Structure 1
Amino acid sequence: MVVVYPMDCIFSSLAHQPIDVTDANAFAKPEGMAYFIPNEGPLNPGMKTHSETVYVTYIVASPEKVWEALTLPVFSQEYFFGRRVKSDWKVGSQVTYYLSDGRVDVQGKVLQSEPPNLLSFTWHVEWHEEFRRLPETIVRFNIDSLGGFVRLTMTEQHPVTMDEKYLDGGRRGWPVILSGLKTLLETGHPLPAFDLAVWT
């Protein structure tokens, strides 16, 4: 079963409608969705996969600028709820997201790094004991140039069956994060601060 989640908040200038995820050309269409796909092939060879969620958005920016937004703390703190990312982005290197108070939020390891088109790394939430008990997930960003704008595809993959309450957090949070990245690059300003729990 495939469950499709619209990402209306991400698209300010491109028309969108539900994507037929059985269509091999779905990613080439000028629409955007987030969708949940159980039991698909792994992002990391050898990793057993139980679910993945894919988010797609289109950004009027160069691939290089989108790469910078994903990898530099001066950008991430503007759209990622104040979190600063730190890594040298070499394969095997550590990735750390810091909360605004300096605590570690997320840690991981770079799996693929092909600037400015492909970035993937493991993801493990550290800031709360309940989340520290969960297994690592893998996130991947594909940046495709479409001539004057880019398609950013973010994939989150889980190696084990996850409780819906944990999956729901990502499904609510990632669309806002990617909307913030898009808004920052296209306007030069982040999204206004708001209570995520109220609006998602």
Structure 2
Amino acid sequence: MTDTAPTTALTTQVYRVWIKATPERIWAAITDPEWNKRYAYQAPSYFELTKGGSFHATATKEMKDYAAANGFELPETILDGEVLECEPPRRLVQTWRMLMDPRTAAEPFTTLTYEIEDAKMQAGVCKLTITHELAGAPETAAMVAGTEDEGAGGGWAWILSDLKTLLETGKNFAA
């Protein structure tokens, strides 16, 4: 028998993008709310960049308006977690939980790792790798995989593409 289950439930998802930017600029774009509110879902994310520090992202007005127009309530904090490792500007490991949907909020925390490396093939380019460990969190796995057809958005691939666009052009997809 052939298994035809969707791949969105994979317990480990890995995403990579090469960005023409320094490790410091990429790090800032990930960890500084003045940067991270400028791409992807534009929800500012706040980090206490020390082992045991907190992480959370807050809903934007547009997100709240969309939720209200579609008959559901959105919490103020839409993501939360804890910093497990912090090695600026190269590595960040954190727990991560999506609170904006009751199905994902009921799942356990997942583990998200950001790694920023100098690209070997070209000076001035860095490779950003995101590894998301999603054991026991199939709803979250589907969301971060980018199942647009199921209303989940573009997931990590879309977020990284918009981050790359912003850092290289100064404009995000919405501009």
Whose RCO is larger (CA < 8 A, sep 6+)? 2
Give the structure with the larger helix fraction: 2
The letter for the 2-side match of 1:186 is E
Q: Tell me if the contact between 2:48 and 2:83 (Cα under 8 Å) persists in the aligned partners.
A: no
4+ residue stretches of structure 1 with deviation over 6 A? none
Counterpart of 2:151?
none
Counterpart of 1:125?
98
Shift of 1:37: 10
Normalising to structure 2: TM-score of the pair? 0.76
Structure 2 residue aligned with 1:87, among 24, 47, 53? 47
Counterpart of 1:171?
145
Structure 2: distance between partners of 1:81 and 1:116: 23
Structure 1: distance between partners of 2:141 and 2:87: 28
Give 5+ residue unaligned stretches, structure 2.
1-6, 62-74, 147-154
Counterpart of 1:152?
128
What pairs with 1:70-149 in structure 2 (closer than 5 Å)? 70-101=30-61, 103-146=76-119, 147-149=123-125
Structure 2: distance between partners of 1:139 and 1:97: 14
Aligned length: 145
Q: Tell me if the contact between 2:21 and 2:168 (Cα under 8 Å) persists in the aligned partners.
A: yes
Counterpart of 1:13?
none
DSSP-derived class of the 2:37 partner: helix
Q: Tell me if the contact between 2:56 and 2:80 (Cα under 8 Å) persists in the aligned partners.
A: yes
Identity over the aligned pairs, expressed in percent?
29
Q: Tell me if the contact between 1:85 and 1:97 (Cα under 8 Å) persists in the aligned partners.
A: yes
Give 5+ residue unaligned stretches, structure 1.
1-34, 39-50, 194-200
Q: Tell me if the contact between 1:57 and 1:152 (Cα under 8 Å) persists in the aligned partners.
A: yes
Normalising to structure 1: TM-score of the pair? 0.67
Shift of 1:128: 2.7
Counterpart of 2:167?
185
Shift of 1:157: 0.2
Pair 1:141–1:188, CA change in 2 (3 A): same
Shift of 1:188: 0.4
Q: Tell me if the contact between 2:8 and 2:145 (Cα under 8 Å) persists in the aligned partners.
A: no
Q: Tell me if the contact between 1:36 and 1:54 (Cα under 8 Å) persists in the aligned partners.
A: no
DSSP-derived class of the 2:17 partner: strand
Structure 2: distance between partners of 1:153 and 1:37: 19
The letter for the 1-side match of 2:141 is L
